[in-house]
């Protein structure tokens, strides 16, 4: 199709484009490899099935914003099919050979049909997405003025979106137009013969293109040939022109999202933090003071980010008017690089200290990200640096730190009082029952906090009623160190974890049950790095087992009572246990009513990430009150929880609201209905 001159010009333009694209790509590679850690390339083969599901079917995208996700899928699936289409167009332009024409039989016919649908889908999808961004302009596609955002980002995101949308529209609309001209040409030439009028449907396997081509069947064949040439240059030329900009655009997520899914270090949970051996005296830097202190995958996150602001939309801190926006952190990293910056930049230039301490470590940003980014991990690494290297942490945390250091619990209650909650009850310790089937890790809150002690007492009542062979550590049980670690105090966590693992390994429990999701998460997912590998379950899981096995019988009242279950972040989102507490509540005869945000998409209570021990940062409201309002909107009589932190936060919010709605742990609800 192309003349010799055109072929030469196209090759030259492509080589120039690829040279500048290569330079942009090598800058990205240098930035990523300046991060900490090594890439485990073998993970690609291990995750190939998961990769196909996530990349081929856009499964992470469909978890949120259904209609925009559908539009995105139309564009994405269309682009996947266009890889072969564009190759076929290039072959045709240089050889006049139509790779996908009739000589390929059913495959060629099927692919032309797919290409026709994909072409229209992409055009419709990108026009709708552009209308949404530039005309409707929902607030969810931007951030508040108070958010720390790179000075070039607010306009830059809109400009980038416009460039990407224009590229996609031009490339695909011109391809559609060029193919229409090509299909119209034979009919147009035949119409030049007097008395031999032909009107035909050019290609039944390209219904949309053929219908459009019918508009040009009476046009001048010469003009159609010129139009086909121009359309090719605009369509494929758009790709050549866009390539050097590609490494600097959000469109680069096409490569880095799959790499994120394929190469992220293996983790037992989205909240599992990297191990730091504090016995290693050679370590000079704790946490992330500068961007180069982040892991290579955390730097790569900035290039995978599509700037969709989904993480911001689910962030409890941002939702209650705090300065934190996980999206802004990733965007700031990218714009810093795009404007000539290096990884030597201090992290607090990319996110304010106030925003850093507003994070509840709920994991919602990590869970919802459609490209696998982990902004929460950046924040917790920055906290490590602030707490360990600079002693720059909220002063309210000092009391909890001292409590964990001196008395092995953040409430600063003496270890001698660790078993006071069980006075008058039959709760065996490991000294009394050396080989229990279940080791119950009570946790600091149920052992020392007056309100949470009722949960422990209720659970003990259930275990005893079921005849479970169990024991507790008693005065030998210490804080797991979760709050210390989420606040950046790895030294405190290291000491507690090492001590607890040594004790647990001596006991060698068959199974551990915890009454706190934070204890569950830490013992199950983070103690293995210290040599502690255990089977750990949550108390709602064990209760559900006991009910299912007929070990306990429940009085099902004829009077219906309604319950809404608040999923603890560290149970539902971090450890993927959704059903056990709900099944248990159903067994009590409760009418369970779901909140709009539930299960893995549950909204945080506001206590995680060491927030329990400090005042919330200023905002438009409090996280726990926002969550309680959602619970209240269900009309349920009771808010059921499965975490002592959630119990405290929801109880406080209920009291502030007048105290008309009860807040109870699942164990309390079950214990009240034991036969």
DSSP for 434-503, please give it.
Answer: SS-SEEEE--HHHHH-HHHHHHHHHHHHHHHHHT--EEE-GGG-----HHHHHTT-HHHHHHHHHHHHHH
Contacts with 435 (C-beta within 8 Å, 6 or more apart), sequence order: none
Q: Give pLDDT, residue 106.
A: 86
Strand 470-472 relative to strand 512-514, pairing = unpaired
Q: Give pLDDT, residue 393.
A: 97
**Residue 217 pLDDT exceeds 90:** no
* Strand arrangement, sheet containing 562-565: 591-592, 562-565, 638-641, 662-665
Q: How confident is the model at residue 201 (pLDDT cuts 50, 70, 90)?
A: low
| Residue 636, φ and ψ in degrees, nearest 5 | -70, 150
Q: Higher pLDDT residue, 327 or 204?
A: 327
CB 122, CB 215: distance < 8 Å: no
Q: How confident is the model at residue 190 (pLDDT cuts 50, 70, 90)?
A: confident
**Residue 199 pLDDT exceeds 70:** no
Measured CA to CA in angstroms, residue 575 lies from 59, 291, 525, 570 at distances of 20, 29, 9, 6
Q: Give pLDDT, residue 39.
A: 96
Q: Averaged over 6-23, what is the pLDDT?
A: 96
Q: Give pLDDT, residue 196.
A: 53
Q: Averaged over 362-369, what is the pLDDT?
A: 98
**Residue 189 pLDDT exceeds 90:** no
Q: Give pLDDT, residue 21.
A: 97
Locate tokens 């929801």: which residue? Answer: 650
Q: Averaged over 290-296, what is the pLDDT?
A: 97
- Partners of 537 in the beta sheet? 513
Locate tokens 């040409």: which residue? Answer: 185
Q: Averaged over 510-514, what is the pLDDT?
A: 98
pLDDT digit string, tens, across residues 369-424:
999 999 999 999 999 999 999 999 999 999 999 999 999 999 999 999 999 999 99
Nearest to 372 by CA among 39, 671, 58, 112: 58
Q: Extract the tokens encoding 55.
A: 């990349």
Q: Higher pLDDT residue, 185 or 299?
A: 299
pLDDT digit string, tens, across residues 123-167:
999 999 999 999 999 999 999 999 999 999 999 999 999 999 999
Q: Give pLDDT, residue 202.
A: 77
One fold for both 397-547 and 553-671? yes
pTM for this prediction: 0.93
Residue range 284-389 forms a domain whose CATH class is: mainly alpha
| Residue 564, φ and ψ in degrees, nearest 5 | -115, 130
Instruction: Kindly list the domain boundaries of the chain, sorted by start residue.
Output: 4-24+64-138+151-259, 284-389, 397-547, 553-671
Q: Structurally, what CATH architecture does the domain formed by 553-671 represent?
A: 3-Layer(aba) Sandwich (3.40)
Region of poorest pLDDT, from 270-284, 468-482, 538-552, 601-615: 270-284
pLDDT digit string, tens, across residues 553-579:
998 876 789 999 999 999 999 999 999
In percent, how much of the chain has pLDDT > 90? 91
Instruction: Measure the CA–CA gap between 19 and 642, rounded to whole angstroms.
Output: 57
Q: How confident is the model at residue 103 (pLDDT cuts 50, 70, 90)?
A: confident
Q: Give pLDDT, residue 336.
A: 97
Instruction: Measure the CA–CA gap between 299 and 343, rounded to whole angstroms.
Output: 9
pLDDT digit string, tens, across residues 637-647:
999 999 999 99
User: Taking every pair of C-alpha atoms in the chain, what is the biggest distance, in angstroms?
Assistant: 108
pLDDT digit string, tens, across residues 324-337:
999 999 999 999 99
Euclidean distance between the first and the last CA atom of the chain, given in angstroms as a whole number: 85
Computed over every residue of the chain, the mean pLDDT equals: 95
Q: Which of 69-83, 174-188, 330-344 has the highest mean pLDDT?
A: 330-344
**Residue 198 pLDDT exceeds 70:** no
**Residue 192 pLDDT exceeds 80:** no
**Residue 302 pLDDT exceeds 60:** yes
DSSP state of 565: E
Query: How many helices (H) does the chain have, and how many strands (E)?
Result: 27, 8
CB 401, CB 489: distance < 8 Å: yes
Locate tokens 């016995």: which residue? Answer: 279
For residue 230, count CB atoms less than 10 angstroms from its CB and return exposed for 0-12, middle for 13-18, buried for 19 or more: middle
* Strand arrangement, sheet containing 470-472: 470-472, 438-441, 512-514, 536-538
Give CA angle at 643 (436, 636), nearest 5°: 125
Residue range 397-547 forms a domain whose CATH class is: alpha beta
Q: Give pLDDT, residue 194.
A: 64
Instruction: Measure the CA–CA gap between 612 and 340, rounded to whole angstroms.
Output: 40
């Amino acid at each position: 199709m192309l003349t010799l001159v055109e072929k030469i010009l196209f090759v030259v333009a492509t080589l120039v484009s690829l040279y500048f694209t290569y330079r942009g790509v090598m800058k990205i590679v240098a930035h990523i490899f300046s991060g900490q850690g090594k890439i485990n390339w073998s993970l690609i083969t291990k995750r190939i099935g998961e990769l196909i599901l996530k990349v081929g079917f856009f499964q992470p995208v469909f978890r949120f914003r259904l209609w925009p996700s559908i539009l995105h899928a139309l564009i994405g699936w269309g682009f996947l099919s266009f890889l072969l289409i564009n190759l076929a167009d290039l072959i045709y332009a240089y050889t006049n050979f139509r790779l996908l024409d009739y000589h390929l039989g059913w495959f060629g016919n099927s692919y032309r049909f797919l290409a026709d649908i994909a072409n229209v889908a992409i055009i419709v999808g990108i026009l709708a997405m552009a209308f949404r961004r530039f005309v409707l302009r929902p607030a969810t596609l931007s951030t508040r003025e108070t958010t720390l955002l790179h000075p070039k980002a607010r306009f830059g995101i809109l400009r980038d979106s416009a460039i990407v949308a224009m590229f996609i529209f031009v490339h695909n609309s011109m391809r559609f137009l060029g193919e229409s001209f090509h299909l119209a040409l034979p009919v147009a030439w035949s119409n030049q013969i007097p008395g031999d009028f032909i009107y035909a449907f050019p290609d039944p396997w390209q219904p949309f293109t053929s219908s459009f081509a019918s508009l040009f069947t009476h046009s001048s064949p010469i003009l159609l040939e010129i139009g086909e040439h121009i359309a090719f240059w605009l369509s494929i030329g758009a790709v050549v022109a866009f390539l050097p900009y590609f490494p600097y655009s959000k469109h680069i997520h096409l490569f880095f999202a799959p790499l994120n899914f394929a190469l992220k270090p293996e983790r037992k949970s989205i909240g599992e933090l990297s191990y730091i051996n504090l016995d290693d005296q050679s370590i000079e830097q704790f946490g992330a003071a500068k961007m180069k202190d982040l892991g290579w995958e955390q730097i790569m996150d900035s290039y995978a980010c599509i700037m969709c602001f989904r993480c911001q939309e689910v962030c409890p801190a941002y939702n209650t008017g705090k300065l934190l926006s996980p999206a802004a952190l990733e965007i700031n990293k990218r714009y810093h690089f795009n404007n000539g910056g290096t990884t030597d930049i201090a992290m607090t230039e990319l996110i304010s200290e106030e925003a850093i301490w507003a994070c509840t470590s709920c994991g919602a940003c990590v869970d919802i990200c459609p490209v696998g980014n982990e902004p929460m991990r950046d924040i917790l690494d920055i906290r490590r640096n602030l707490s360990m290297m600079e002693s720059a942490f909220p002063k309210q945390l000092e009391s909890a730190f001292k409590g964990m250091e001196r008395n092995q619990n953040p409430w600063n209650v003496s270890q001698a009082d660790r078993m006071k909650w069980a006075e008058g009850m039959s709760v065996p310790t490991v000294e009394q029952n050396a080989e229990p089937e279940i080791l119950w890790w009570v946790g600091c809150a149920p052992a020392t906090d007056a309100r949470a002690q009722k949960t422990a007492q209720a659970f003990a009542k259930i275990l005893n009623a079921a005849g479970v062979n169990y024991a507790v550590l008693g005065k030998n049980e210490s804080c797991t160190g979760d709050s210390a670690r989420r606040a950046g105090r790895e030294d405190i966590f290291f000491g507690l974890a090492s001590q607890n693992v040594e004790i647990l390994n001596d006991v060698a429990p068959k199974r551990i049950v915890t009454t706190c999701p934070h204890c569950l998460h830490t013992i199950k997912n983070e103690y293995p790095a210290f040599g502690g590998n255990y089977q750990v379950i949550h108390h709602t899981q064990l209760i559900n087992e006991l009910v299912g096995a007929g070990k306990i019988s429940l009085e099902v009242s004829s009077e219906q009572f309604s319950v809404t279950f608040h999923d603890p972040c560290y149970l539902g989102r971090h450890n993927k246990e959704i059903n056990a507490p709900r099944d248990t509540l159903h067994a009590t005869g409760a009418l369970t009513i779901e909140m709009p945000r539930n299960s893995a998409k549950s909204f945080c209570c506001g206590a995680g990430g060491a927030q329990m021990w400090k005042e919330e940062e200023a905002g438009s409201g409090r996280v726990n009150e926002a969550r309680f309002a959602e619970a209240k909107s269900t009309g349920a009589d009771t808010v059921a929880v499965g975490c002592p932190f959630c119990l405290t936060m929801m109880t406080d919010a209920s009291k502030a609201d007048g105290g008309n709605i009860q807040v109870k742990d699942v164990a309390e609800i079950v214990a009240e209905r034991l036969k």
